[in-house]
Amino acid sequence: MNKPLFLVCGLMITGCGSPSATEDVGTKTAAIEPDPGSGPGNPSFITYPQLYASADGETHFREVTVPLTFLQPVPPAQGLFYGPREPATARRWVVFPKHWGVDEFQQGVFHNISSRRFVSIREGTIVIRVSDGEERIFKKGDILEALDVAPSKGRLSKSEDGAVVFLTDHL
């Protein structure tokens, strides 16, 4: 069920819900939910997709929910909705060239990330398939928390149509 549309960081987004396999998650990666007690347009939480490994090493997607709290910044700025602070150790730009990973994707060559990170897609489109078989498409404006470090089974990733530009925050 779709919730009302909200504008977050210039992106129109809809309500929460897990996308099905191979569904383009572009409008669901930063979904926010209203708090019924706080009036229209006042979010109580935000959700985003997370790629994680279960105890057996299989990788999966799930939706993570972060509560938001209304806080007043330094006046005269208006109040905002904040999530909890999260530590990050480094930020890095990454560019995957056109056709990056296509051969490995077709051959089923899984790979891991070197460290846990948040990924913000700034340009292009990338397809990610986790070891349980679910596949999702991420495009400009989407975010993803990636936790599939070794010894997990990892994931398949490819950029087919053009270069993909990421901004990563390493955790």
Query: Residue 69: helix, strand or coil by DSSP?
Result: strand
The dihedrals phi and psi of 6, each to the nearest 5 degrees, come to: -130, 155
The per-residue pLDDT for range 13-45, each reduced to its tens digit, is 233 333 333 334 443 445 665 554 454 467 788
Domain assignment present for residue 159? The answer is yes
Domain assignment present for residue 155? The answer is yes
Domain assignment present for residue 1? The answer is no
Instruction: Please say whether the beta carbons of 64 and 145 come within 8 A.
Output: yes
Question: How many Å apart are CA 77 and CA 91, to the nearest integer?
Answer: 27
Please enumerate in sequence order all residues whose Cβ is within 8 A of that of 163, keeping only pairs 6 or more positions apart, or say none.
95, 96, 97, 98, 123, 124
Instruction: Please say whether the beta carbons of 120 and 153 come within 8 A.
Output: no
Q: How many domains does the chain have?
A: 1
The per-residue pLDDT for range 86-127, each reduced to its tens digit, is 889 999 999 999 999 999 999 999 999 999 999 999 999 999
Question: How many Å apart are CA 19 and CA 24, to the nearest integer?
Answer: 8
Query: Residue 28: helix, strand or coil by DSSP?
Result: coil
Q: Domain span at residue 38?
A: 6-170
DSSP-derived secondary structure letter, 104:
H
Query: Residue 61: helix, strand or coil by DSSP?
Result: strand
Question: How many Å apart are CA 107 and CA 69, to the nearest integer?
Answer: 46
Confidence tier at 47 by pLDDT (50, 70, 90): very high
Joined together, the tokens standing for residue 55 give: 């105890």
Domain assignment present for residue 82? The answer is yes
Give the lowest-confidence range in 19-28, 55-64, 118-127, 131-140: 19-28
Question: How many Å apart are CA 41 and CA 157, to the nearest integer?
Answer: 36
Domain assignment present for residue 60? The answer is yes
